[in-house]
């Protein structure tokens, strides 16, 4: 009798919970896959689930997007695990060595993190997040309840809400009553910029390590509080591709352990079992490698996890249904089913191997903390530029990388800037030891030259931090004692009764201060040449603020200098010890420029987004956005600077339109052409010429019977034959004319991330500010033919034209907004050149 009563109570309780916990179909009022769900309704679904099942789920808002949408994490496990959830989290950090309050307990659940919808128009996976959450919580699903006994599941339902809603809202407006599977209809042709990217047109799946965007910053902060054992990143690809899951393609970075490789294979075999049973096609070990450190699979991998990408056919062309090349109809319901299967399969296999997953995770971090990963055991940043040091320290802090200080007087190490082992002093350096939980990530980010197991890679091949930040650094093979880093104080108070003020100008932090001064309408000048005052030397580009003309702004200037921690020196007069006095024509007044940037159809949205974000979120300086299709002479009235990001522009092909732009430049306008935009400008006969491929011409002229057959290729090698012409992204040493305002704040050399092989002829009537000579490749892979092209040419230049000028960069100087050392040069182009 008692047993019957208990059974009745159990069934009553279960049915009651089921009534409270609604399935996605019940809550939304439509079947998953019959339409796309707006982000706010996904948030509402997760909220109702958290309310219905608090004993099994915690819901946390971890941030907001630029457009104000919520970023959420749902944490799901058994009631017993949820009751001690924070202790599980802390214990997991003890396994890594990040938390050292007491020994770690290895009898602990494995943590699986599922990241959905990082690309907004790859929209099936946020639908999947609701289905996955329901099945994990559903009381009648005994299988998932068994998994949750030894796993904690973290679900991020949408990493990119702004991009998702851009796509979903557009599709909803374009689609009719019934889905049209014809791939040529308008619901399968998304307009610029598409929903893939976030508000500022950034690809959030290239931003994990760099954290330039608020979504990434908030996510990585939370990620580092958990450090999961398994991380899955859900994507979509072309409508005609089968499903992709791990194991990944080569190249694998050398820091990836045998266990990480092998368990990818174990997970993949479990997926294959379910896909085979359903007759679904899939592929593995192709295209998607594990190398570039800022992906949603590599970043977790370099932090000790099993990091994986899952790719379903669909993305923006998929709609609710689409006819594929094989004349099959791919539906949103199909896409949901496939991603749901790999979601559950990943949890299942992790649960089955939970004890092994934990033991290998602990071993990974024990090795990192006790032996240090890689040849080099200590990295020393000897750079004394305060602005650059602070930027680098912020990067370390955001990634949980431990650093300190070292003061050894004589050490031998690898000099990144010369490429040789040298003796140096480590006095007052930033020291990063390889003996720490983030050891693998440190090696990946600091290694001078990354080793490629396969040159056919998916992304750039060089990103070493000393080049990215432009900081003098050394890699040392010995373990050095690293002391606590002493934070520098805030800027000293600035007197308001001096004749004038001198501000050092040698980092992007100084460019931010310059932009702020212009915004505050403070009159300022810059020195074209070096000078000395009271025995102290000042570099060209030094900012000069005089009391005269700023009488009512001096207190504001003093407050701003303190806020920006700007290095300000007061002067009592305008007479210099050496160099030019403040009244000289070598001292130039800086006028506040009105800036426009081209955007819209024809513009690379990523490239436009980088500039937009740089101005709004970093320089805090206004930039107007104008559609490229609407640009003409009248649109440029009252505009001083026009930024032309990478893209393909119709107005540059039209003689009449180009003539209008030329007239505007001659009257004092300034164009800044970036990447492929520079190549288009070079076709206009404005004094800039793209360098011809002379080597290829010579080879063609010399072709004879002996090498007549060199063009014959094997079909099976078609993907690799083009590698000789391939430059996915490598670092080159650029020799700078730092007497030109464009290069103020730089030394004799600058390290550029070069993508492609575009070079420009040396200009006779212009300024060749940045040039590449022979043998100047510093790091990364470049195909043999492409390498021959990248030499003896200009990559950064200024062509005067009447009262105006054309500034061009052969490559993107602020690539993905993580190439920190190029930001000041772009600011120089806007604020200093032509003044």
* Secondary structure in 3-state letters for 356-386: HHHHHHHHHHHHHHHHCCCCCCEEEECCCCH
How would you classify the pairing of strands 595-599 and 767-772? unpaired
Of 141, 118, 90, residue with least CA distance to 339:
118
Q: How far apart are the first and last CA of the chain?
A: 94
In this predicted structure, the answer to whether residue 719 has a pLDDT above a threshold of 80 is no
408 — pLDDT class (breaks 50, 70, 90): confident
pLDDT > 70: percent of the chain: 94
Query: Would the CA dihedral through 76, 77, 80, 81 be positive or negative?
Result: negative
Contact call for residues 383 and 473 (beta carbons, < 8 A) = yes
Query: Would the CA dihedral through 697, 702, 705, 709 be positive or negative?
Result: negative
How would you classify the pairing of strands 641-644 and 595-599? parallel
Q: Which pLDDT value is given to residue 6?
A: 43
Q: Which pLDDT value is given to residue 409?
A: 84
10 — pLDDT class (breaks 50, 70, 90): very low
**Helix or strand holding residue 236 (H, E):** strand 230-237
Q: What is the pLDDT of residues 572-585, one digit of tens each?
A: 999 999 999 999 99
Contact call for residues 734 and 771 (beta carbons, < 8 A) = yes
Report d(CA 741, CA 748) in Å as an integer: 13
In this predicted structure, the answer to whether residue 704 has a pLDDT above a threshold of 60 is no
Of 748, 760, 741, 745, residue with least CA distance to 821:
745
Report d(CA 578, CA 562) in Å as an integer: 29
Of 323, 327, 347, residue with least CA distance to 185:
323
Report the b/e string of 742-780 with b at 16+ CB within 10 A. bbbbbeebbbbbbbbbbbbbebeebbbbbbbeeebbbbb
**Helix or strand holding residue 798 (H, E):** strand 793-801
**Helix or strand holding residue 554 (H, E):** helix 554-563
* Peptide bond before residue 247 is cis, with ω within 30 degrees of 0: yes
Question: ∠ CA(189), CA(191), CA(193), 5° rounding?
Answer: 130
Q: What is the pLDDT of residues 166-213, one digit of tens each?
A: 999 999 999 999 999 999 999 999 999 999 999 999 999 999 999 999
Q: Which pLDDT value is given to residue 8?
A: 47
Report d(CA 672, CA 797) in Å as an integer: 10
Of 429, 433, 425, residue with least CA distance to 477:
433
pLDDT average, residue stretch 645-663: 94
DSSP conformation letters of 463-508: --HHHHHT--EEEESS----BPPPPP-PPPP--SSSSEEEE---SH
Report d(CA 556, CA 517) in Å as an integer: 9
How would you classify the pairing of strands 404-406 and 289-290? unpaired
**Helix or strand holding residue 252 (H, E):** strand 249-252
Report d(CA 300, CA 297) in Å as an integer: 6
Report d(CA 356, CA 637) in Å as an integer: 67
Report d(CA 171, CA 360) in Å as an integer: 45
In this predicted structure, the answer to whether residue 705 has a pLDDT above a threshold of 70 is no
Contacts of 323 (CB under 8 A, 6+ apart): 181, 182, 183, 329, 330
In this predicted structure, the answer to whether residue 21 has a pLDDT above a threshold of 90 is yes
List C-alpha distances in Å: 453 to 252, 255, 457, 461: 7, 12, 10, 12
695 — pLDDT class (breaks 50, 70, 90): low
In this predicted structure, the answer to whether residue 712 has a pLDDT above a threshold of 50 is yes
pLDDT average, residue stretch 606-614: 98
Report d(CA 491, CA 501) in Å as an integer: 14
Quick one: tokens of 148?
A: 């949750």
* Secondary structure in 3-state letters for 515-530: HHHHHCCCCEEEECCC
Hey, is 73 helix, strand or coil?
Answer: strand
pLDDT average, residue stretch 612-624: 98
Report d(CA 88, CA 86) in Å as an integer: 5
Q: Quickly count: other Cβ atoms within 10 Å of residue 312's Cβ.
A: 28
Backbone dihedral angles phi then psi of residue 815, each to the nearest 5 degrees: -40, 120
407 — pLDDT class (breaks 50, 70, 90): confident
**Helix or strand holding residue 537 (H, E):** strand 536-538
Q: Which is more confidently placed, 19 or 729?
A: 729
pLDDT > 90: percent of the chain: 88
Q: Quickly count: other Cβ atoms within 10 Å of residue 351's Cβ.
A: 21
Report d(CA 711, CA 825) in Å as an integer: 42
pLDDT average, residue stretch 364-376: 97
Q: What is the pLDDT of residues 276-329, one digit of tens each?
A: 999 999 999 999 999 999 999 999 999 999 999 999 999 999 999 999 999 999
Report d(CA 716, CA 504) in Å as an integer: 58
Report d(CA 370, CA 138) in Å as an integer: 43
Residue corresponding to tokens 């910029």: 193
Report d(CA 53, CA 79) in Å as an integer: 10
Q: Quickly count: other Cβ atoms within 10 Å of residue 431's Cβ.
A: 23
Report d(CA 133, CA 464) in Å as an integer: 39
Q: What is the pLDDT of residues 780-808, one digit of tens each?
A: 999 888 999 999 999 999 999 999 999 99
pLDDT average, residue stretch 631-642: 92
Contacts of 21 (CB under 8 A, 6+ apart): 49, 52, 53, 134, 137, 138, 139
Of 433, 416, 413, 447, residue with least CA distance to 479:
433
Q: Quickly count: other Cβ atoms within 10 Å of residue 420's Cβ.
A: 8
List C-alpha distances in Å: 522 to 507, 553, 560, 639, 655: 20, 7, 11, 20, 41
pLDDT average, residue stretch 334-350: 98
Length of the chain: 835
Q: Which pLDDT value is given to residue 702?
A: 56
Strands (E), 22-127: 57-64, 70-76, 110-115
In this predicted structure, the answer to whether residue 569 has a pLDDT above a threshold of 70 is yes
Contact call for residues 455 and 364 (beta carbons, < 8 A) = no
């Amino acid at each position: 009798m008692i047993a019957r009563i208990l059974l009745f109570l159990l069934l009553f309780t279960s049915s009651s919970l089921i009534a409270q916990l609604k399935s996605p179909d019940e809550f939304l009022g439509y079947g998953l896959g019959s339409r796309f769900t707006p982000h706010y309704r996904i948030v509402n679904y997760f909220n109702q689930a958290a309310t219905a099942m608090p004993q099994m789920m915690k819901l946390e808002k971890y941030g907001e997007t630029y457009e104000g949408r919520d970023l959420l994490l749902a944490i799901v496990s058994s009631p017993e695990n949820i009751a001690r959830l924070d202790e599980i989290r802390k214990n997991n950090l003890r396994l890594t060595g990040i938390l050292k309050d007491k020994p770690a307990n290895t009898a602990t659940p494995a943590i699986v993190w599922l990241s959905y919808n990082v690309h907004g128009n790859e929209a099936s996976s946020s639908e999947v997040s609701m289905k996955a959450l329901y099945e994990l919580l559903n009381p009648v699903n005994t299988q998932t309840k068994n998994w949750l006994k030894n796993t904690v599941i973290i679900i991020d339902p949408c990493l990119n809400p702004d991009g998702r809603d851009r796509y979903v809202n557009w599709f909803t407006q374009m689609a009719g009553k019934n889905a049209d599977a014809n791939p040529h209809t308008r619901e399968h042709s998304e307009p610029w910029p598409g929903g893939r990217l976030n508000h500022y047109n950034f690809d959030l799946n290239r931003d994990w390590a760099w954290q330039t965007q608020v979504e990434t910053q908030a996510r990585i902060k939370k990620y580092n509080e958990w450090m999961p054992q398994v991380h899955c990143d859900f994507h979509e690809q072309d409508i005609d591709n089968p499903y992709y899951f791990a194991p990944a393609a080569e190249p694998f970075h050398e820091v990836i352990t045998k266990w990480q490789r092998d368990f990818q294979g174990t997970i993949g075999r479990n997926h294959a079992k379910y896909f085979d049973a359903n007759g679904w096609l899939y592929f593995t070990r192709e295209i998607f490698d594990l190398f570039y450190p800022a992906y949603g699979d590599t970043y977790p991998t370099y932090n000790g996890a099993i990091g994986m990408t899952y790719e379903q056919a669909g993305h923006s062309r998929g709609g609710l249904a689409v006819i594929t090349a094989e004349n099959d109809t791919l539906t949103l319901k199909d896409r949901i089913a496939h991603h749901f299967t790999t979601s559950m399969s990943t949890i299942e296999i992790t649960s089955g191997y939970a004890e092994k997953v934990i033991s290998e995770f602990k071993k990974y971090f024990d090795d990192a903390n006790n032996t240090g990963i890689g040849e080099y055991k200590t990295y020393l940043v000897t750079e004394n530029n305060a602005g650059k040091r602070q930027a680098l320290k912020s990067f370390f802090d955001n990634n949980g990388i431990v650093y300190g200080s070292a003061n050894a007087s004589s050490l031998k190490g690898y000099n990144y800037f010369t490429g040789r082992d040298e003796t140096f002093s480590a006095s007052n350096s930033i020291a990063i030891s390889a003996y720490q939980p983030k050891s693998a990530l440190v090696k990946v980010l600091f290694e001078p030259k990354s080793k490629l197991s396969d040159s056919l890679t998916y992304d750039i091949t060089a990103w070493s931090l000393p080049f990215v930040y432009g900081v003098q650094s050394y890699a040392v093979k010995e373990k050095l004692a690293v002391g606590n880093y002493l934070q520098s104080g805030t800027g000293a108070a600035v007197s308001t009764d001096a004749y004038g003020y001198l501000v050092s100008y040698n980092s992007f932090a100084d460019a931010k201060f310059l932009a702020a001064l212009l915004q505050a309408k403070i009159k300022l000048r810059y020195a074209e040449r070096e000078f000395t005052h009271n025995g102290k030397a000042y570099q060209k580009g030094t900012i000069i603020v005089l009391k005269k003309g700023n009488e009512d702004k001096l207190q504001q200037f003093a407050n701003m200098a303190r806020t920006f921690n700007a290095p300000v020196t007061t002067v009592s007069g305008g007479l210099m010890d050496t160099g030019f006095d403040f009244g000289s024509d070598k001292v130039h007044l800086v006028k506040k420029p009105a800036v426009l940037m081209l955007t819209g159809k024809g513009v690379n949205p990523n490239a436009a987004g980088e500039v937009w974000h740089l101005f709004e979120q970093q320089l805090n300086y206004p930039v107007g956005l104008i559609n490229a299709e609407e640009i003409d002479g009248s649109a440029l009235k009252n505009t001083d600077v026009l930024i032309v990001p990478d893209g393909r522009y119709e107005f540059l092909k039209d003689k009449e339109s180009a003539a209008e732009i030329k007239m505007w430049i001659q009257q004092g306008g300034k164009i800044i052409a970036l990447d492929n935009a520079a190549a288009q400008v070079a076709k206009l006969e404005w004094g800039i010429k793209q360098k011809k491929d002379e080597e290829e011409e010579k080879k063609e002229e010399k072709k004879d019977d002996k090498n007549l057959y060199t063009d014959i290729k094997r079909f099976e090698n078609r993907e690799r034959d083009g590698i000789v012409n391939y430059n996915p992204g490598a670092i080159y040493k650029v020799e700078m004319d730092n007497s030109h305002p464009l290069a103020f704040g730089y030394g004799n050399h600058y390290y550029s991330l070069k993508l492609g092989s575009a070079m420009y002829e040396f200009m006779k009537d212009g300024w060749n500010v940045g040039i590449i000579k022979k043998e100047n490749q510093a790091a990364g892979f470049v195909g043999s033919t492409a390498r021959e092209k990248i030499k003896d040419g200009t990559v950064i230049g200024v062509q005067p034209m009447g009262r105006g000028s054309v500034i061009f960069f052969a490559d993107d100087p602020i690539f993905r907004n993580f190439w920190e050392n190029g930001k000041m040069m772009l600011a120089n182009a806007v604020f200093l050149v032509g003044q």
